[in-house]
């Protein structure tokens, strides 16, 4: 059989060369993917807290009315509570919108770091089959023998993988260069948590403590009601403590996210850097803690 002159005569050696070329440009983007996934989880865990500011305010107002109003009227109290919490209702969509930008950022990081993006296995299978089916005109023998076919395929694969890996890297580099914007956006959510959400929870916890004291003094005259409300308030105080822990865990997870994004940006060409990997790992652990903390707490209904 006559070999086309452009192909190397020793396929094994050429195959080795192509394999070397391929291994040189292969990169492991798993840490980027992990940070993208954790960012999405972080934002998903924070959503109820950011979206539920009005619910929390309503629960606080209703609870206080029920226990302390001189004349309690459920419907009127609900109306008054709704009016009192109208500002929370109006402002929380702004926080939710910021959080959704972070979710979208996490998703595009995951999609861009996806192994499938620069993997052409499926596409090249078709090309390989097509090339393998080529026959010499006339005698029906294959145009390329198995060794030659493998070299051609590897070279083609190398060329397109190189092009798309470059695009993938460039894309990730640009996404990770948005650190300042990510930090400003996530710092806003952090500031909300520290300066507004946590003070709200602390006020609520203080008030629940006061109300428990008030209910305690009623136990002589109305023991059943006092015991019932007292138990509910006790549960509430535990829940408020958990919600405060969850808020603190959220802030810590945001810090870890910012640090791991900075580490990825600094080590995009060497993602196996131990320090960068440690940051990414720390972020995943903080998110796991947060997810555990938010599994229970959301304001109870009064």
For another protein, the binding residues in 146-175 under the rule CB under 8 A are 160, 163-164, 167-168, 170-171, 174-175
Task: Name which of 214 and 289 has its Cβ closer to another protein.
Answer: 214
Task: Name which of 89 and 282 has its Cβ closer to another protein.
Answer: 89
E strands, the chain, where? none
Task: Name which of 7 and 101 has its Cβ closer to another protein.
Answer: 101
196 binds another protein (CB under 8 A): yes
Structure tokens at 296: 């229970």
210 binds another protein (CB under 8 A): yes
Give me the least distance between CB of 240 and another protein, in Å please.
Answer: 15
108 binds another protein (CB under 8 A): yes
What does the alpha-carbon distance between residue 158 and residue 164 come to, in Å, rounded to a whole number? 10
206 binds another protein (CB under 8 A): yes
Cβ-proximal residues to 113 (8 Å cutoff; 6+ apart), any chain: 29, 30, 32, 33, 36, 168, 172
73 binds another protein (CB under 8 A): no
Short-list 122, 104, 57, CA closest to 84: 57
Report yes or no: 39 and 109 within 8 Å, Cβ to Cβ: yes
Cβ-proximal residues to 178 (8 Å cutoff; 6+ apart), any chain: 105
117 binds another protein (CB under 8 A): yes
237 binds another protein (CB under 8 A): no
- CA dist list (Å): 98 to 125, 187, 200, 286: 43, 10, 20, 21
Choose which of 134, 241, 278, 295 interacts with another protein (CB under 8 A): 134
Q: Within positions 212 to 231, which residues make up the interface with another protein, using CB under 8 A?
A: 213-214, 217
Task: Name which of 84 and 267 has its Cβ closer to another protein.
Answer: 84
């Amino acid at each position: 059989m006559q070999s086309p002159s452009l192909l190397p005569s020793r396929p094994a050696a050429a195959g080795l060369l192509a394999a070397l070329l391929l291994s040189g440009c292969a990169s492991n983007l798993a840490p980027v993917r992990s940070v993208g996934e954790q960012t999405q989880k972080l934002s998903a865990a924070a959503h109820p807290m950011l979206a539920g500011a009005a619910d929390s305010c309503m629960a606080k107002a209703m609870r206080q009315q029920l226990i302390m109003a001189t004349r309690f009227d459920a419907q009127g109290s609900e109306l008054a509570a709704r009016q009192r919490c109208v500002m929370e209702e109006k402002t929380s969509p702004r926080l939710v919108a910021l959080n959704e930008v972070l979710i979208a950022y996490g998703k595009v990081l995951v999609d861009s770091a996806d192994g499938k993006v620069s993997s052409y296995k499926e596409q090249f299978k078709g090309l390989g089959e097509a090339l393998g089916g080529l026959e010499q005109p006339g005698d029906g023998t294959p145009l390329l023998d198995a060794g030659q076919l493998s070299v051609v395929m590897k070279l083609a694969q190398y060329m397109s993988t190189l092009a798309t890996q470059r695009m993938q890297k460039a894309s990730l580099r640009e996404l990770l260069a948005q650190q300042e914007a990510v930090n400003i956006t996530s710092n806003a959510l952090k500031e909300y948590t520290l300066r507004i959400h946590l003070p709200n929870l602390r006020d609520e916890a203080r008030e629940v403590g006061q109300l428990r004291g008030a209910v305690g003094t009623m136990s002589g005259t109305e023991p059943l009601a006092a015991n019932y409300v007292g138990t509910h308030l006790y549960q509430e105080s535990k829940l408020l403590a958990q919600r405060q822990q969850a808020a603190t865990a959220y802030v810590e997870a945001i810090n870890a996210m910012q640090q791991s994004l900075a580490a990825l940006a600094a080590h995009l060409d060497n993602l196996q850097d131990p320090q960068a990997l440690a940051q990414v790992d720390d972020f995943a652990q903080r998110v796991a803690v947060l997810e555990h903390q938010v599994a229970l707490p959301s304001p109870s209904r009064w």
